[in-house]
Structure 1
Amino acid sequence: MCGICCSVSFSVEHFSKDLKEDLLCNLKRRGPNSSKQLLKTDVNYQCLFSGHVLHLRGVLTAQPMEDERGNVFLWNGEVFSGVMVKAGENDTQIMFNYLSSCKNESDILSVFSEVQGPWSFIYYQASSHYLWFGRDFFGRRSLLWHFSDLGKSFSLSSVGAQISGVANQWQEVPASGIFRIDLKSASTSRLVVLKFYPWKYISGENVITEECVNTLTQIAADLPPFVSVVANEAKLYLKDPVVPLNMMLPPIPSEIDCSTISNTPPTRETFQVFLTNGHMKEVVQQFIDVLSSAVKKRVLCLPRDEPLTPNEVLRTHERKANVAILFSGGIDSMVIATLADRHIPLDEPIDLLNVAFMTKEKIIPASFNKQRGRQKNCKTPAEESSENTAVAADRSDKQFNAPDRITGRAGLKELQVTNPFRIWNFVEINVSLEELQKFRRARICQLVHPLDTVLDDSIGCAVWFASRGTGCLVTPDEVKSYQSSAKVVLTGIGADEQLAGYSRHRVRFQTHGLEGLIKEIKMELGRISSRNLGRDDRVIGDHGKEARFPFLDENVVSFLNSLPVWEKTNLTLPRGIGEKLILRLAAVELGLTASTLLPKRAMQFGSRIAKMENNNEKASDKCGRLQDISLENFSVEKEIKT
């Protein structure tokens, strides 16, 4: 994970040798282990490169990197496969080595076509005055662009910074391909031309072409008049890393009679009906294998302490967690936690981050005031009895008894049964209205931008507080404050989009049948970069942590895309069974119990953030709380810096 930025100026009077303070601050928060700037000047333009590194693999490698020919590279990504990165090597250095050896644009496209994993990058080719940049196929890493008036300058950055009085100054770089700018040409014409290289799927010798004209039109719609986007003349492209979605419809009704399932209360045994089908059982096992491999890559690609010797086993409690999971106790996070447990060393704890927002306070007897204050601060004095501690935890429940807290605790018990030898740190993250409003003004509104809906506000705030990892560990013996040290945060995003987990999938199925459902799933996956992933990367990265998305691993998506829709979901069945059916069957095979039957509950409702402020809002409404309040931000930011 890194914070990367390139600021280009075609005008001496508009050029600054330093980034604006608030932008630099936002970038540094993403990359706390190394910060560096590099200035490249030409008679026609100036480029200021800024790199801020969160060190996770190989030797700490400062960015930006420059080779002997003056090429410059900024990389915010993880190479999980496709390009060879040996143990102990740094993937930034490996990627730069490949790019430095490229002889033409086709070679550059080949490099990025091979990489599997999340990435965004900026690459300056000195000899040709080209600036290349882009995001991976799913847009799992944020990259924004900002073009100033009259084409005198522009910037690319992992995260933006709000400017008072300027609306929509930053926009997300589309994840529909990669881009190239001829800086020398742009400096003389004062017109910025974005040369576009789209993703295309290759099947055998055939290239399946998406409608490029529509894509170009969509990209151009949000650009200022002096910026244009055009297809590259050679019609070069990147290879799609995943197979297309299987659009097949069933020729005959399902072999499984679902009538008995629909008419009985769902139980875990309900799923055994499906698992008696040999083909379905095999498909479920294949899904477990490919998802387990995806989780393995994401929990092992990071530095960790040496394993404990047999004589040191008693010191397991002193170990710090390297991996955290955004954890609601729902089916997505439970399966991820179970698979992470397979691959993370047993002497290493796993942090389960569970966020809840305060409900309206009830009248509390004066005798509890002192104790309640202690619980709010998550501090238990040494002299306090365990009985009083239990009372404190119970008092907290009344304020933070959100649905995700209840299912999270139930999920914790399941995991403890599955592996009682693992230390599972269930981190209760309690957020008051005052704290929510304070940090939204100071931090979160900048990170969610350029997205601006009520839904973006709710999800952005919930994910920011959860991934921060500041909360309490509540055990039968004590309540103590806790700060997660994990640099890697696993999240279940991508499961609902691919497996028809949202209520709108059920509505679509009821109105347009399987054909409509398939189109909805295709649309969901196609827009996930602009709807979710850039925002979540900015929000989680703000804590110097890296978001990793196992359900969006290229092999996982290809496997699920290859299946006919009825092997993934069955929306003729009740909630808690039919949606994400293949994932629920996988959970049963993994030994999970009650969590396999939990219906989908959106994070904004599960955490109760949607109940905090305005209950009458619609998710798609523009959110006034996310409007430009940067002058206020600046003073609040100084107040709360740590």
Structure 2
Amino acid sequence: MCGICCMLVLVPQDVPVILGEEMLESLQRRGPNCSQQLSKVVPELGYNCCFSGHVLHMRGCLNPQPMQDAQGNLFLWNGEVFGGIEIKPEDNDTQIILQHLSSCNSEEDILSVFSSIRGPWAFVYYQPSTHCLWFGRDYFGRRSLLWQFKNPCLTLVSVSASLPKCVSAPWHEVPACGLYKIDLQKQPNASSLAITWYPWKHMSTEYESASHLEAQFTEELPDFVSVFLNESKNFLVAPIIPMNCSIPDPYTDKKYSATNLTNVDMYLSDEHKKKIVHQFIDILSESVRQRVLFLPRNQNPSDCAAHVINSEKAKVAILFSGGVDSMVLSALADRHVPPDEPIDLLNVAFEQRERKMQKISKKKQRQSNTSGASEEETSKNGSGGIEESTAFDVPDRITGRSGLKELQIINPSRHWNFIEINITLEELKEMRQYRISHLVQPLDTVLDDSIGCAVWFAARGIGINTSNGEVQPYISTAKVVLTGIGADEQLAGYSRHRIRYKTSGFVGLVKELEMELGRISSRNLGRDDRVIGDHGKEARFPFLDEAVVSFLNSLPVCDKADLTLPRGIGEKLLLRMAAKELGLSASAILPKRAMQFGSRISKMENHKEKASDKCSRLLQNMVD
């Protein structure tokens, strides 16, 4: 994972472009292992480019970015290849992808390379021979790439500067709609910028009209920027199959109903459903395997100057609530992470002061009634101990501890590090102002603030390890952070799915799920990549592996969820059955609880806000 930046200036100048210190600092936090900056000044065509790469070393030899080939092509890569193009364990994927691009003789060849890649990516690729600048994000937008247009300058970057001051030139996420190319020989003048677009397309679908496709860019682009569908109508091949939109026959007798179903075991007695469950487990397990084994482990110091890795420290961490998503990921990670290597379970909680004070008041009253203790003694007793810990006993902390016990039963020999990450209101306000608000940007809702802050503190991994009955300060050094994003979107896990089903039946539910997957790049993934990457760690999303998504898309909705059943069973039914088969019992039937509610961050400041409201706290920090 890397921090990448390209700044393009469309006016003749002899002095190379230099990035600001704030921008470099943000990029270096994402890529702490190696930094490099290269410039290309082309006065005859009136443009100047600066390329800045900051590498988080994850596999193969440590190579600086931007990487340059024999033809002078420059490549900035923020991604991981998990399939489609062969990458050996000792290979550096940046180098392999550049080799493929170097052999391309046409734009069709370039599109073919990126159509082949399975895994998350964002990139910038400059060809000096054609004076073309290519860039884009993967189909789901799992890696962040922002753009800012400030005439006559275009900036492409993983994360914006920590103190954004130019309100007149806002940042936007590059839409994860395909690849983009700027032909620097064909720009009409310095006061306009034309961008050619190569969209994703399912092989089995018709090509949409250019006017329909291009319309989605018009709202956020300034007047001097235009995005055009490429004249040849070339496209990238989508890495997933279209969603199965078939609707169950409403007249078919239901074998199970809310009245006779008490747990998911009854579903598993159906051989057809059990077969689907095991197929799902196998595909998701392979996704997890790829994401926990593509890491440097016990390498020979002579190989690429790599250091021997201490197996006593965790290399993999999981955003862990004890809910069914994180429990299944933990159980599958346990299959593939070396047995002598710990796994960090990151559990975040935000201090609940009202609840704490209520408990203290009740204790005072009890003490006064039973022992006649003085008010001073009661006050001293209420300043710490049990009351202090109960302030962080939020729902996700309670289910997390229960989940830890289940995992310890499944594999008692595994060293599970349960990390309690406790955040006060003061620390939340401080770190939002100095670090988090610009990472969430350009997203700006109350929901973005809540989840962005919760994920940032969780991924930081600073807390106490309470796994073995002892309380020890702990800092997670795991570079890979697994997250369960994508499970709710594909398996009808949100309350809005139940609402849509009640109002529009299966037809409405299928449309809602299609919409969820289609907008996930703009709602979740770029934000979470920026937030987790700020710690020099890499977010990985097993539920959004292309093979996993294609498998789930192939199933009719009735095989994934049954919203006639109660909460804790009907939503994400397929995942709950998988959890049961993996030996997880209690967590398999926990109702869905969103992170902002489970961690109680939503209760800390303004209780009357709606999730979709613009967040005044974020907006204030953006303009300060």
What is the TM-score of this pair, normalised by structure 2? 0.92
Does structure 2 retain, via aligned residues, the 8 Å contact 1:355–1:430?
yes
1:624 aligns with 2:619: no
CA RMSD between the two structures: 2.1
Q: Deviations over 1:435-494 (max 9, x none)?
A: 000000001100000000000000000000000000001256431110000000000000
**In structure 2, which of residues 277, 280, 285 is the aligned counterpart of residue 292 of structure 1?**
285
1:225 aligns with 2:217: no
- Distance 1:403-1:210 versus aligned 2 partners, 3 A rule: farther
**In structure 1, which of residues 336, 339, 342 is the aligned counterpart of residue 335 of structure 2?**
342
Q: Which residue of 1 aligns with 2:369?
A: none
Where 1:286 maps in the other structure, the secondary structure is helix
Task: State the distance in 2 between where 1:48 and 1:317 align.
Answer: 38
The answer for unaligned runs of 5 or more in structure 1 is: 308-315, 376-391, 633-642
Deviating more after overlay: 270-279 vs 99-108: 270-279
Task: State the distance in 1 between where 2:18 and 2:378 align.
Answer: 53
Q: Which residue of 2 aligns with 1:380?
A: none
1:504 aligns with 2:491: no
The answer for unaligned runs of 5 or more in structure 2 is: 301-308, 362-374
Q: Which residue of 1 aligns with 2:148?
A: 146
1:536 aligns with 2:528: yes
**In structure 2, which of residues 574, 582, 588 is the aligned counterpart of residue 582 of structure 1?**
574
Task: State the distance in 2 between where 1:506 and 1:631 align.
Answer: 39
- Distance 1:15-1:8 versus aligned 2 partners, 3 A rule: farther
Shift, 1:215, TM fit: 2.6
Does structure 2 retain, via aligned residues, the 8 Å contact 1:248–1:564?
yes
1:482 aligns with 2:478: no
User: Which amino acid is 1:263 matched to?
Assistant: T
- Distance 1:484-1:110 versus aligned 2 partners, 3 A rule: same
Does structure 1 retain, via aligned residues, the 8 Å contact 2:17–2:49?
no
- Distance 1:371-1:478 versus aligned 2 partners, 3 A rule: farther
Shift, 1:209, TM fit: 2.7
Q: Which residue of 2 aligns with 1:426?
A: 418
1:415 aligns with 2:415: no
| Map 1:122-521 → 2, pairs under 5 A | 122-148=124-150, 151-161=151-161, 162-164=163-165, 166=167, 169-186=170-187, 188-203=189-204, 207-251=205-249, 253=251, 256-259=254-257, 262-263=258-259, 267=262, 270-305=263-298, 319-360=312-353, 361-362=356-357, 363=360, 392=385, 394-475=386-467, 477-521=469-513
Task: State the distance in 1 between where 2:382 and 2:86 align.
Answer: 54
Q: Which residue of 1 aligns with 2:305?
A: none
Where 1:430 maps in the other structure, the secondary structure is strand
Task: State the distance in 1 between where 2:248 and 2:59 align.
Answer: 46
Does structure 2 retain, via aligned residues, the 8 Å contact 1:168–1:450?
no
**In structure 1, which of residues 83, 87, 111 is the aligned counterpart of residue 113 of structure 2?**
111
Where 1:428 maps in the other structure, the secondary structure is strand
1:95 aligns with 2:97: yes
Does structure 2 retain, via aligned residues, the 8 Å contact 1:167–1:628?
no
Deviating more after overlay: 230-239 vs 9-18: 9-18
Does structure 2 retain, via aligned residues, the 8 Å contact 1:358–1:431?
yes
Q: Deviations over 1:119-160 (max 9, x none)?
A: 000000111110000000000000000010xx3111000001
Does structure 2 retain, via aligned residues, the 8 Å contact 1:355–1:607?
yes
Shift, 1:395, TM fit: 3.8
Does structure 2 retain, via aligned residues, the 8 Å contact 1:216–1:230?
yes
Q: Which residue of 1 aligns with 2:587?
A: 595
Shift, 1:339, TM fit: 0.3
Where 1:214 maps in the other structure, the secondary structure is helix
User: Which amino acid is 2:432 matched to?
Assistant: R
User: Which amino acid is 1:30 matched to?
Assistant: R
Where 1:517 maps in the other structure, the secondary structure is helix
- Distance 1:175-1:367 versus aligned 2 partners, 3 A rule: farther
Q: Which residue of 2 aligns with 1:639?
A: none
Shift, 1:631, TM fit: 7.5
- Distance 1:123-1:367 versus aligned 2 partners, 3 A rule: farther
Where 1:209 maps in the other structure, the secondary structure is coil
Task: State the distance in 1 between where 2:526 and 2:455 align.
Answer: 13
Shift, 1:98, TM fit: 0.6
Shift, 1:263, TM fit: 2.6
- Distance 1:548-1:10 versus aligned 2 partners, 3 A rule: same
Q: Deviations over 1:247-285 (max 9, x none)?
A: 1112354554233xx136x75xx2122111111111111
Task: State the distance in 2 between where 1:434 and 1:15 align.
Answer: 45
Where 1:629 maps in the other structure, the secondary structure is helix
Task: State the distance in 2 between where 1:317 and 1:222 align.
Answer: 48
Where 1:297 maps in the other structure, the secondary structure is helix
Task: State the distance in 2 between where 1:302 and 1:476 align.
Answer: 27
- Distance 1:103-1:370 versus aligned 2 partners, 3 A rule: farther
Q: What percent of counterpart residues are identical?
A: 58
Q: What is the total number of aligned residue pairs between the two structures?
A: 596
Where 1:188 maps in the other structure, the secondary structure is coil
User: Which amino acid is 1:126 matched to?
Assistant: P
Where 1:202 maps in the other structure, the secondary structure is coil
Task: State the distance in 2 between where 1:217 and 1:340 align.
Answer: 42
Task: State the distance in 1 between where 2:120 and 2:378 align.
Answer: 49
User: Which amino acid is 1:300 matched to?
Assistant: L
User: Which amino acid is 1:286 matched to?
Assistant: Q
User: Which amino acid is 1:208 matched to?
Assistant: E
- Distance 1:178-1:329 versus aligned 2 partners, 3 A rule: same
Q: Deviations over 1:206-235 (max 9, x none)?
A: x53345432311112210000000010111
- Distance 1:367-1:199 versus aligned 2 partners, 3 A rule: farther
Q: Which residue of 2 aligns with 1:523?
A: 515
1:39 aligns with 2:57: no
- Distance 1:395-1:306 versus aligned 2 partners, 3 A rule: farther
Task: State the distance in 2 between where 1:8 and 1:628 align.
Answer: 29
Q: Which residue of 2 aligns with 1:2?
A: 2
Where 1:283 maps in the other structure, the secondary structure is helix
User: Which amino acid is 1:566 matched to?
Assistant: C
Task: State the distance in 2 between where 1:367 and 1:196 align.
Answer: 71
Task: State the distance in 1 between where 2:517 and 2:209 align.
Answer: 17
Q: Which residue of 2 aligns with 1:381?
A: none
Does structure 1 retain, via aligned residues, the 8 Å contact 2:10–2:190?
no
Q: Which residue of 1 aligns with 2:370?
A: none
